[in-house]
Amino acid sequence: MKVQVYTAAWCRDCRVAKQFLDAHGIAYSEINVDDDPAASAEVMRHVGKRAIPQLVIDGEWFQPYKPGRGLLYDELHMRLGIPRS
């Protein structure tokens, strides 16, 4: 499985998403939208707004965070094939 995470250093939700991936041993590559204008444009092209964090799991875009709900743990478990304990 190939996982990419679009993030920014100032983004608290990005840190939470990366902690989740790290805690479950999911390898990922991080793409900082502040350091790479092309990455920011890529998020805009796929999502329609500069909303991070964004995960790309085997080519499929997924926003693991919803305002007012926080990190979408159930959806992350399902999409990444992580069993619930």
Greatest mean pLDDT among 2-6, 65-69, 80-84:
2-6
Q: What is the 3-state secondary structure (H, E, C) of 6-42?
A: EECCCCHHHHHHHHHHHHCCCCCEEEECCCCHHHHHH
Helix (H) or strand (E) holding 70: strand 70-71
Looking at the DSSP bridge assignments, the partners of residue 32 are: 7
Residue whose C-alpha is closest to residue 55's, from 64, 47, 46: 64
> In terms of pLDDT, which residue wins out, 46 or 50?
46
The pTM of the full predicted model, rounded to 2 decimals, is: 0.91
Q: Which CATH class is domain 3-80?
A: alpha beta
User: What are the sequence ranges of the domains in the chain?
Assistant: 3-80
Q: Are 30 and 19 in contact (CB under 8 A)?
A: no
